[in-house]
Chain A
Amino acid sequence: MAEHIIELQDVTKYYDDNLVIDHVSFYVNKGEFITFLGPSGCGKTTTLRMIAGFDLPTSGKILLNGEDISLLPPNRRPVNTVFQRYALFPHLNVFENIAFGLKCKRVQNTYENAEGKRYTKKERLSKKEIAEKVKKALALVDLEGFEKRSISTLSGGQQQRVAIARAIVNEPEILLLDEPLGALDLKMRKEMQLELKAMHKRLGITFIYVTHDQEEALTMSDTIVVMADGVVQQIGTPTGIYNEPANTFVADFIGESNIFNGTVVGDRLVRFCGKTFECVDDFEKNELVDVVVRPEDIHMCAPEEGKLRGKVISVVFKGIHYEITVQVGKFEVVIQSTARREEGEEIGMNIPAEEIHLMKPTYTTNVYDGVITKRNTVKFAEGEFDCDVTQLYPGSHIDEEDYLITATGEKIDLTDVEVRVEVGLNDIEISDDQEAGGTMGRIISIIYKGDHYRLIVRTEEEEEDFVLSTEDLWNENDLVSVIIPKEKIKLSLKHTEEKSI
């Protein structure tokens, strides 16, 4: 069994009143290259800073080789950090920067005195020893002969190398790297990635690396810890995380993904995009799932041979493959393929069962794509609902002509604006009276949850689902109308998604 060099036990961190790390536990094996990956603000840098000792956990323990170091100051931990913006000392030259840690160091030397007794003494390193170590470290980062250079005369890449040399010259048990390549250009970054990986092999020490770049994480790491909102989402090898993402967040963050809402309709059968597919994951019948399909796992074929059929709406050349977006009914499907298709072409698509990944959905609300109408109502799921559009712009109001006036007095015509509509599970009512609600649907699933029923109402045409809780007993396949109170409809503006054009 591999030795755990660092172990976090139920670590929680608050900055003032903000929870940034929420009960995180994991361990790092000795000698491995582990990466904390996540979007900015996910807590990855804070986790690193707690291992370095710059921040102390609010609760929980950090163990180093089994010893609790949670409250140890940074200068007494056998770890060294490569900082995001290098943090080189501007008043010292390259040699002095790298020698800084060595000059602070005390080593135990054993001597024999006149009577033959052995004794140990804590001593500073000699000038010669320091000079030798610095020279070796500079050779390791390919900066031989740079000793006398001042920091301000170095390029970003060279500063980066000095920062790495300054950290590894102390022979730490763990090297912490906080987005060290963030400031370099793409080509330089790729080079440094490989160099760091090679350095890790040569030195044999544990590397803990923080990045928001998923490609960097996949390239370099033995193990990846995916974080979001201060919580560990998944820990695994790069291949494991890519091929078997634990949830839609991981699927979405690592690589490209198509994510659909699906329903399990039978034994290893899942329905999404209006079709039923075979799959390999076993879920309860009628369970709502998130379906994740990687773009490279969708195979294109002739229109009549495909389970899915659609029209190509965009083709983008990405170097080694084409990224093809296909409109299938109301869904957009992204495919990566080395084969080219023309815009407007009709194609068929098949997805092998083992490439369809089902996951328990994490959502607790219903989310729809909606459009605001002329009358300031919102259209979604084949229906039209009264809503309060002023929530889109804080402090705004509606004037007599139904225009929206923002807090700053700007006049906005909301007609045809696309919005994200959110409705809580407990904010939806259903009724037999088919005129009462904004839209109609059939009950496709009833699950008794102990004190209430969890119903899924599906609209007939677009197959939009309303998940709702009710205490009343209904029958499956009942046609009902869906009622949502005006104040319960949460609207937010859709930020135009980044699409490569």
Chain B
Amino acid sequence: MKLPRFSRKTLCIPYAVFLVFFVVLPMLVIFFYAFTDENLHPSFGAFIKFFSDPTKLSTIVYSLVIALITTILCLLIAYPVAYILARSKMKKKFIILMLFVLPMWINFVLRVNAIRELFNLLASLKGMGWLASANYFKTVFGMVYDFLPFMILPLYTTMLKIDNSLYEASADLGASAATTFFRVTVPLSMPGIMSGVTMVFLPSMTNYVVSDMLGNAKVTIIGKFISDYFGNDWHMGSMIALVLLVVVFLSTWLSGGFKSEENVRGTSL
């Protein structure tokens, strides 16, 4: 039997269909809803309402700040781990790496629930009562815990690729350990940093499961907002989603994420 021959073009069709139906069309729908009113007439109503409402704007800022703190904490925790693991000559280092990544294999909601129960338990202890109302703290804690593997993995893989002779060359040229770190290690691990930051920053702005469960529903992040609005006001929901899209686009663009092919390759896991 002769196998049917596919040209490269025909092989692309399923993907093109997928992209049209699940990316392009939904985007257009969001765009359409964002700039129409209840009667589906073109309108800037949602736009004006959004930017004149201080609660909405402050939620965006809150989300950004929470995401920023989460990302920075993840980076601070993950960088030394990735650095030490990538450079150690330990034979079983993959086991340690796996222990860090292992929580990803357990259901997300279950993990967050477990943290909540732990916090409840801690809060019932003497002198720990402040925990009960430390909603922002608990939210950030939960996010860091949940998103840490997404920071460690790309950092680890980029650092693994840095040739040991580069560290030696740096020392050979008179650089102290600190100089080597800031002038060789950090710049060369930049693709990993970028990729880790993207993978932590974006979900921590929109993933409202954590903030809902750990923040006593007192912490509203932008993702929660969108989901609430899509209950009754699709136009406002779409507008917020669109604003978020622009914010994300701008932050990626500013951090140079679109710069070159090479960076993209470096960021792949």
Using CB atoms and an 8 Å cutoff, list the residues of chain A in contact with chain B. 52-54, 73-76, 79-81, 83-85, 87-91, 100-101, 104-105, 166-167, 170
Contacts and interface: CB of A to CB of B under 8 A. Distances in A.
A89 B184 contact: yes
B218 interface: no
Contacts of B175: 75, 100-101, 104
Interface in B139-168: 163, 165-166, 168
Interface string B187-214: 1101000000000000000000000000
B174 interface: yes
Contact of B172 (A81, A84, A91): A81
A490 to B, nearest CB: 34
B183 interface: yes
Contacts of A104: 173-176, 179
A395 B246 CA distance: 68
A147 B127 CA distance: 63
B169 A81 contact: yes
24 contacts: A52-B168, A53-B172, A54-B171, A54-B172, A75-B174, A75-B175, A80-B173, A83-B165, A83-B169, A85-B163, A87-B165, A87-B166, A89-B166, A89-B170, A89-B184, A100-B173, A100-B175, A101-B175, A104-B174, A104-B176, A104-B179, A105-B174, A167-B172, A167-B173
Contacts of B165: 83-85, 87
Contact of A75 (B166, B171, B190): B171
A269 B216 CA distance: 102
A83 B174 contact: no
List 4 A-B pairs, minimum CB-CB distance, nearest first. Answer: A101-B173, A87-B165, A104-B174, A87-B169
Nearest to B262: A152
Contacts of A87: 163, 165-166, 168-169
Interface of B: 163, 165-166, 168-176, 179, 183-184, 187-188, 190
The CB with the most chain B CB atoms within 10 A, among A76, A85, A87, is that of A87
B188 A100 contact: no
Contacts of B190: 91
A409 B111 CA distance: 53
Contacts of A73: 171
A108 to B, nearest CB: 15
B244 to A, nearest CB: 33
B168 A74 contact: yes
The CB with the most chain A CB atoms within 10 A, among B171, B175, B188, is that of B171
A101 B187 CA distance: 17
Contacts of B174: 75-76, 101, 104-105, 170
A170 B173 contact: yes
The CB with the most chain A CB atoms within 10 A, among B170, B174, B175, B176, is that of B174
Contacts of A53: 171-172
A355 B48 CA distance: 101
Contacts of A90: 188
A83 B172 CA distance: 10
A52 B170 CA distance: 12
Contacts of A167: 172-173
Nearest to A83: B165
Given A75-B175, A87-B163, A100 B168 contact: no
Contact of A91 (B163, B168, B187): B187
Given A74-B168, A89-B188, 8 more contacts: A54-B172, A75-B173, A75-B174, A81-B169, A83-B168, A87-B168, A89-B169, A90-B188
B256 to A, nearest CB: 13
A501 B174 CA distance: 50
A344 to B, nearest CB: 54
A167 B172 CA distance: 9
A89 B187 CA distance: 10
Contacts of B163: 85, 87
A167 B173 CA distance: 7
A166 B171 contact: no
A85 B187 CA distance: 20
Nearest to A49: B168
Contacts of A54: 168, 171-172
Contacts of B170: 89, 100
A319 B168 CA distance: 42
Contacts of B169: 81, 83, 87-89
Contacts of A101: 173-175
A73 B170 CA distance: 12
B261 to A, nearest CB: 12
Contacts of A80: 172-173
Given A74-B168, A100-B183, A91 B173 contact: no
A89 B188 CA distance: 9
B75 to A, nearest CB: 19
A100 B163 CA distance: 17
The CB with the most chain A CB atoms within 10 A, among B172, B174, B187, B190, is that of B172
Contacts of B173: 75, 80, 100-101, 104, 166-167, 170
A87 B168 CA distance: 9
Contacts of A83: 165, 168-169
A195 B173 CA distance: 23
B179 A74 contact: no
Nearest to B163: A87
B153 to A, nearest CB: 22
Contacts of A166: 173
A75 B176 contact: yes
B163 to A, nearest CB: 7
Nearest to B162: A90
A166 B165 CA distance: 14
Contacts of A170: 173-174
Contacts of B179: 104
Nearest to B173: A101
Nearest to B188: A91
Contacts of A85: 163, 165
B172 A52 contact: yes
A76 B166 CA distance: 17
Contacts of B166: 87, 89
Contacts of B183: 100
B187 A75 contact: no
A74 B175 CA distance: 9
A76 B175 CA distance: 9
Contacts of B176: 75, 104
Nearest to B176: A75
Contacts of A91: 187-188, 190
Contacts of A105: 174
B116 to A, nearest CB: 43
A52 B163 CA distance: 18
A75 B167 CA distance: 11
B158 to A, nearest CB: 12
Nearest to A81: B172
A52 B169 CA distance: 10
A380 B229 CA distance: 94
